[in-house]
Amino acid sequence: MRLVLTCRLGGPEHSLATTVTLRRALKASLARVEVDGLDEVDVHLTLGGAVTSAEGHGGVHHLRYSATRRRLTVNVVVPASEVARSTPAGALAPYLDTMSRRIAERCAPGDADAVTRALAGACREALDTVPGSG
């Protein structure tokens, strides 16, 4: 499946290089996952920071699936307080797990557990390659 990932960084403390590395790793990992009826996942990621904290808005929002276009769009928001307690990749991990579960439930309800494991595993694999994620 193809991933389109756009990022909004909530402050200057976020490294653009880390975001680029994350995008490349997620694209490579998710490219190996196949979900019947889904060709593209468009993720808008917001990492809260000093300028825009995103407090109170954290989570996986506005998941929309188009069966005719075989495309899913979703917003993932990680509040600054969670990023501050970890690394951006570490704070993002539980949100990607939630996103994986919700995608599976929406696009593959008959095989949601297996699809969730495949998507979440690919996301975790990608996060492991991001510097400072451990």
* Spatial CB neighbours of 15, under 8 Å, sequence gap ≥ 6: none
Q: What is the pLDDT at residue 130?
A: 83
Can you give the residue ranges of every domain in the chain?
Answer: 2-128
As a whole number, mean pLDDT of residues 119-123 equals 96
Q: What is the pLDDT at residue 133?
A: 57
pTM recorded for the entire structure: 0.91
The CATH code of the domain at 2-128 is 3.40.390
Q: What is the pLDDT of residues 27-48, one digit of tens each?
A: 999 999 999 999 999 999 999 9
64 by Cβ neighbours in 10 Å (0-12 / 13-18 / 19+) ranks as: exposed
Percent of the chain with pLDDT over 70: 98
